[in-house]
Amino acid sequence: MDELPIGRRVAYWRTRRKMSQQVFADRLGKSKSWVDKVERGVRRLDKFSVVYEIADVLQLDVQLLLGKDPQRRPDSVNCIDQVEVEEIRAALERYDQISAFFYAPPEPPALPEMRKAVGHAWLTYQHAKYGVLARALPKLLRDAQAADTAFAGTEQSSDAAHLLGEVYQIASSTLRKLGEHELGWLAGDRSIAVSQRANDPLLAGTATYRVALALLSMGRARPALEVNVNIANRLAPGGPEDTTAERLSVYGALLLQGVMAAARIGDMATVRDLLTGAEEAARGLDGDQNHYWTSFGPTNVHLHRAAAAVEMGEGRLAIEVHETLNMEAFSRLLPERRAHHFLDIARGYALVGDVSRASEMLLEGDRLAPSEIRCRPLAREVLSDILRRTRGTPPQPVAELAEHMGVGV
């Protein structure tokens, strides 16, 4: 890409933006013929003002257009842009299983390699590296889909389906974090279907958990509550063989998402009941664990108690729950979980009007996992609220964070 003439790079990025030459020309205020000549190298781009204008229309760092690495501040965070969202969408819209009826399936990657790549993707998510993950997801989705298609009807079919189900769940959670709720719902829904072929009820349980998260993000709290509780009831431990750490973790995670949906509705009785059930499940584990990538355990139950209080507008209660947190256990959780909690508590302090402490919590989350704060629409809303309530000039760290996130001071 670096060796390409600038006209070819313009054509490449215009195509990635799914713009016709005519649409691109209209946005630039140029003719289609002018665009065509630039892309073919017949016309030179020798004015930086025009190059910058093209980069602006393409929503692109001008350094990329010039064939160089983007110049970023050392502490900047690279989130996701609309092109990357569209690439993930395109991967989700593939129907390789149907194509396999008519054409030979593509050569799949080896399942051990896929398993390693999926594990790495999960850890990337749980370390809140959303931009990195978003750029890896299209290929990961295509590889997992190819493996699922190629191994259908073989002894490895359930393993391949399991991996594809996991990749759909990674995509669902990542897209939801970045505000792409409908795509998150689609990916979660795909995972439910694939999980049935994987013959793994716990994978189906975590897929349901992802769907419910997407529904809640779309404002569909009641359906989210119903689906969480329904599947949790099916996975509820009923005997010694049902009390494995894996099953307790998935069951508990479903209950905790039910807690959040009930809190959104304002159903305090259900919140209490589900938290009690989650606490009982957590007691069956040896501390906080990460089976099926749930991060479930006593500490995560505590974090959801605080988060539910925030959802119900009980900022003071959320702060009190935070102040009783076992910080040693909390420090062992992965960065995404901890930074998410700091965002919740920032909301709690904002609810009680303590702008200074709200800012501290937001900055603490940013130091721990910048993408969890800088890439999430929810965090932008919290920061905007903090800035509105701040008298005079905000502290320098808050002003710098606002600048990085594009939130007006």
Scan for tokens 């003439």, then name that residue.
5
- Return the higher-pLDDT residue of 405 and 217: 217
What are the angstrom distances between the C-alpha of 241 and each of 203, 235, 246, 251?
18, 12, 11, 14
Q: What is the mean pLDDT of the segment spanning 327-340?
A: 95
pLDDT recorded at residue 135: 85
pLDDT recorded at residue 153: 86
The kind and range of the H/E element at 36 are helix 32-40
Q: Where are the beta strands (DSSP E) in 132-208?
A: none
Q: pTM score, two decimals? A: 0.79
Q: What is the mean pLDDT of the segment spanning 224-253?
A: 90
pLDDT (tens digit per residue) in 284-308:
999 999 999 999 999 999 999 999 9
| Alpha carbon 119 to its chain's center | 16
Q: Does residue 148 contact residue 161 with C-beta atoms inside 8 Å?
A: yes
pLDDT band at residue 62 using 50, 70 and 90 as cut-offs: confident
First to last CA, the chain: 38
pLDDT recorded at residue 106: 58
Residues with Cβ within 8 Å of 19's Cβ and at least 6 positions away in sequence, in order, are 27
- Burial pattern 262-286, b for ≥16 Cβ within 10 A else e, equals bbbeebeebbebbbebbeebbeebe
pLDDT, mean over the chain: 88
Q: Does residue 159 contact residue 111 with C-beta atoms inside 8 Å?
A: yes
pLDDT (tens digit per residue) in 376-395:
889 999 999 999 988 888 89
For 233, other C-beta atoms within 10 Å of its C-beta total 11
* Helix and strand totals (H; E) in the chain: 23, 0
pLDDT recorded at residue 2: 46
> In whole angstroms, what is the distance from residue 31 CA to residue 14 CA?
15
pLDDT (tens digit per residue) in 3-37:
568 888 888 888 877 789 998 998 888 999 999 99
pLDDT (tens digit per residue) in 137-193:
998 998 999 899 889 889 999 999 999 999 999 999 999 988 888 999 999 999 998
The kind and range of the H/E element at 43 are none
pLDDT recorded at residue 56: 75
Residue 74 scores a pLDDT above 60: no
